[in-house]
Every structure is written in C-alpha cells, then in structure tokens.
Amino acid sequence: MKIFLIGLMGSGKSHWAKKLSKKLKTGGYDLDFVITSHEERSIAEIFAEEGEANFRKTESKLLRWFAEKKSFVLATGGGTPCFNDNMDWMNTQGITIWLDEPVQILAQRLLPEKAHRPLIAGLPDEALQGFLREKLEERRAFYSKATYHLKEGDINDRTFAKIIKEHA
Ligand code: S3P
C-alpha cells in the first residue's frame, strides 16, 4: 500500500508516517528528510540559497522516486500537493490522507520551532495564525482532492485502522 500524508505544517504528518509504517511493517519516510539528505542542506538553506521555486522542483523530483517503491507511508511537505501536478500524481500512485487539524493547534505546535521553517521564520508570533489560515485557503483546492479528509477528532488510531482495512 502506498500512503501519502498531506496537510499544513504541524499537522502531524511525520508523527503518523512513523506510527503507521510501524503498524503496517513497511517503510516510513518524510519527504523533507529525503530532500535534506539528498541535498545535504537544510530546507531553510535550500530556500535561502535557491529560492522557493527551485525547492519545489527538487521536492517534485524526489517525490517521484516513490514511483519505484511498492509500499510505504510518506509524510509530504505542507506545500507538496500544490505544485507540479503532485496531488494528481500521488492519487494515481496510492491513497492520500489530508490531516486537517485546526489552525489554532497548528500555531501552538509551530511557535516553538518557527525559526527552522522558512515560510514562517520571519513572522511575528501574533501573525502566525493568520498566515496559516491564508495558506489553508490557498491550498484547500489541492488538499481537497485527497482520498480521505480527516478533521480534528478523526485523526486517531481507530480512523487509520479503518482506512487500512478498506485498502487491505
Ligand atoms: C512547507 C512545509 C515544510 C517544508 C517547507 C515548506 C510548506 O514541510 O516542506 O518548509 O510549504 O508548507 P512540513 O509540512 O513537513 O513542515
């Protein structure tokens, strides 16, 4: 089974990729980590040195490496679905699950680690929620193409077990 986890930063994609891949006894990956390993630089450095447009090219190229793999759970980056037809591509490969946590929760989680995330590093703390709300609206059309849309309260072991059963 190929599972792609999508959603805004801070929505728990990496956490669930680890957890689900263990449960499924399959590979668990984090696209940001694949990118930083391949580029031998942090995401912040890639953004600073090459700009977002080039980061998106690399991100899309490395995402397509997963065509070769038969089974995995991949935590994508928050912007991955919104560039280079990535969302449609992921949907042809396997199932996509949108982790749609409320913006207040995302902001709480992201505040302490803002500095490492190039899109929000320069924002004053009080602007974070507004920024995330805007991003969500910008990205909604892409995220909405997900096979499953999990909202607050649905993002738990029981829901994931049900999804896995449906695709076993
Ligand atoms: C981004 C999210 C980040 C990372 C990059 C851009 C975004 O990934 O890919 O900083 O555009 O939302 P996470 O969602 O894993 O934090």
What 136-145 contacts at long range (C-beta under 8 Å, 24+ apart), as own/partner pairs, is: 136/8, 136/103, 138/82, 139/8, 139/78, 139/79, 139/81, 139/82, 142/81, 142/82, 142/87, 143/6, 143/7, 143/81, 143/87, 143/98, 143/100, 144/98, 145/81, 145/87, 145/88, 145/91, 145/96
The pLDDT assigned to 35 comes to 98
- Planar angle of CA 105, 110, 157, nearest 5 degrees: 50
Beta strand pairing status for 27-30 and 95-100? Answer: unpaired
Residue 9 in contact with ligand 1 by CB distance below 6 A: yes
The pLDDT assigned to 168 comes to 81
Residue with tokens 């038969």: 70
Which ligand 1 atom is nearest residue 30's CA? 15
In words, the CATH class of domain 2-161 is alpha beta
The pLDDT assigned to 110 comes to 97
Q: Is 140 annotated as a binding residue?
A: no
Candidate of 6, 30, 32 to mutate for ligand 1, largest count of ligand atoms within 8 Å of Cβ: 32
pLDDT tens, position by position, for the chain (168 residues)? 999 999 999 999 999 999 999 999 999 999 999 999 999 999 999 999 999 999 999 999 999 999 999 999 999 999 999 999 999 999 999 999 999 999 999 999 999 999 989 999 999 999 999 999 999 999 999 999 999 999 999 999 999 999 999 998
Residue 132 in contact with ligand 1 by CB distance below 6 A: no
The pLDDT assigned to 77 comes to 98
* Residue 125 DSSP SS3: helix
Render pLDDT for 73-88 as a digit per residue (tens, 0 to 9): 999 999 999 999 999 9
